[in-house]
């Protein structure tokens, strides 16, 4: 799936199970011979290893196979490089690429001199053989300073948001779980949503009005993945701060996937790594329309995805279909109930019928349950956020 997302055509696959990895080539000599035959048979240009290779293993394999060899981390970095659109995203990807390249400079003359395109060729400094550690070190330092400016800017924006009672809700989940489709339907945004992995790389934030009339901010973030390279976690820390600072996380899971439990566990692991595991979460079981009829019970699907023990600890789950809109009313209601910022409580306001400004605030920012007239006043029974109750305290009865 990763290789296809990078634009590769998978010609063949090779699997080996052994007690310990070979220190020189990762795979054993027999499998290496088999791989050489496959490369020759398919005239393959690239061999991808679903795991991390040491610099020496990568060099030895390229010598033996006589073609380009890349590992899982380099493949993911390549996909990220092709997806980054904003200046921030490009900086973060380049930082991760440089950190990956730095220990691999020794003996990498052939790889660094390649000018051709293709998987593993999108990267900084690959056109000059004489690229050295000092130059890369200077570039890394410069990018880190630029990213710190981005982080400072995000901190200012976050502080400004926190001065207004607007909670931030972040969508998290394994890549291709349907987060962007869900985000688009909820917020009427136009974030790119397709079946490619990491189609969404740069974060997007949009407003949303909940049933209680509270306004919140929704952010769509990069999809997580098994074995997300440490270099990427570090490089994207400024972006992932949106997840860390969120008041509520919507953990979106493809409920129709047979691998949903494994993928959900990978997401929870990444949340622990970025210290966001303690943030309140709502499990969103997406693509419920693809489940066979009779197997779409929320509780049973949640237990299958999270496991019995974890489902008992976190029983909050909602089944939806981002494609059809099924379950969205329940999703928004549950978000309303779980948000602790600017909590909603019943409130009764008595406002003069001539006080158009106060009446507008009530109708605009609360959920009006009923209204009636008493002489020259309007009495409104509402479910109102705390900020509105404070602002209109003189009208409360």
> Percent of the chain scored above 90 by pLDDT?
26
For residue 242, pLDDT beyond 80: no
Mean pLDDT across 257-279: 85
Return the higher-pLDDT residue of 96 and 334.
334
pLDDT in tens, 165-200: 678 898 888 878 888 889 888 887 665 555 455 545
Q: CB-based contacts of 370: which residues, under 8 Å, 6+ apart?
A: 380, 381
Does CATH number 3.40.1390.30 belong to domain 1-163?
Answer: no
For residue 126, pLDDT beyond 50: no
pLDDT in tens, 53-84: 888 899 899 999 999 999 988 888 887 777 66
What are the sequence ranges of the domains in the chain?
A: 1-163, 177-338, 344-395
49 sits in which H/E element: strand 46-49
- Residues 328, 184: contact at Cβ < 8 Å? no
DSSP string across 325-394: -TTHHHHHHHHHHH--SS-EEEEEEEEETT-HHHHHHHHHHSEEEEEEEETTEEEEEEEEEHHHHHHTGG
Total Cβ atoms within 10 A of residue 338 = 16
27 pLDDT band, cuts 50/70/90, is very high
- Residues 129, 112: contact at Cβ < 8 Å? yes
pLDDT in tens, 93-108: 888 888 888 777 654 4
Tell me what the pLDDT averaged over the chain comes to.
Answer: 81
Q: What is the CATH number of domain 177-338?
A: 3.40.50.300
Q: Could you give the CA distance from residue 56 to residue 59 in angstroms, rounded to a whole number?
A: 5
Fold match, 1-163 / 177-338: yes
pLDDT in tens, 358-367: 999 999 889 9
For residue 372, pLDDT beyond 80: yes
Helices (H), the chain: 2-5, 29-42, 55-65, 72-83, 87-101, 109-113, 133-163, 179-187, 230-235, 237-244, 260-273, 298-306, 308-313, 328-338, 356-365, 386-391
For residue 160, pLDDT beyond 80: no
pLDDT in tens, 280-330: 889 999 998 888 765 667 888 888 888 765 666 666 889 999 989 899 999
Return the higher-pLDDT residue of 257 and 189.
257
Mean pLDDT across 133-141: 85
Please tell me the pTM assigned to this model: 0.67
Q: Could you give the CA distance from residue 40 to residue 329 in angstroms, rounded to a whole number?
A: 56
113 pLDDT band, cuts 50/70/90, is very low
């Amino acid at each position: 799936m990763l290789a296809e997302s990078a634009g590769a055509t998978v010609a063949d696959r090779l699997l080996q199970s052994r007690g310990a990895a070979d220190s020189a080539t990762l795979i054993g000599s027999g499998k290496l011979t088999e791989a050489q035959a496959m490369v020759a048979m398919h005239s393959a240009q690239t061999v991808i290893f679903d795991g991390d290779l040491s610099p020496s293993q990568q060099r030895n394999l390229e010598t033996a196979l006589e073609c380009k060899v890349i590992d899982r981390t380099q493949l993911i970095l390549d996909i990220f490089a092709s997806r980054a659109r904003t200046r921030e995203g490009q900086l973060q990807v380049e930082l991760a690429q440089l950190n990956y390249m730095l220990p691999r400079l020794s003996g990498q003359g052939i790889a660094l001199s390649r000018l051709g395109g293709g998987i593993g060729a999108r990267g900084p400094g690959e056109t000059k053989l004489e690229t050295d550690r000092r130059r890369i070190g200077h570039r890394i330092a410069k990018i880190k300073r630029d990213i710190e400016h981005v982080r400072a800017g995000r901190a200012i924006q976050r502080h400004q948001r926190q001065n207004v009672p607007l909670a931030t809700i972040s969508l998290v989940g394994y890549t291709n779980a349907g987060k962007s489709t869900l985000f688009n339907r909820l917020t009427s945004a136009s974030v790119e949503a397709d079946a490619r992995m990491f189609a969404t790389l740069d974060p997007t934030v949009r407003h949303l009005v909940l049933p209680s009339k509270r306004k919140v901010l929704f952010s769509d973030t990069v999809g997580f993945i098994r074995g997300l390279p440490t270099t990427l976690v570090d490089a994207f820390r400024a972006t992932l701060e949106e997840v860390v600072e969120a008041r509520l996380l919507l953990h979106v899971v493809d409920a129709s996937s047979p691998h949903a439990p494994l993928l959900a566990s990978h997401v929870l692991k990444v949340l622990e790594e970025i210290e966001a595991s303690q943030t309140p979460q709502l499990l969103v079981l997406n693509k419920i329309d693809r489940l066979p009829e009779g197997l779409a019970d929320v509780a049973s699907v949640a237990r299958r995805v999270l496991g019995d023990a974890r489902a008992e600890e976190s029983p909050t789950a909602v089944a939806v279909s981002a494609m059809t809109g099924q379950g969205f009313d329940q999703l928004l209601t549950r978000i309303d109930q779980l948000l602790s910022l600017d909590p909603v409580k019943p409130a009764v306001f008595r406002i003069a019928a001539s006080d158009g400004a106060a009446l507008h605030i009530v109708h605009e920012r609360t959920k009006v349950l009923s209204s009636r007239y008493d002489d020259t006043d309007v009495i409104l029974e509402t479910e109102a956020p705390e900020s509105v109750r404070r602002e209109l305290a003189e009208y409360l009865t």
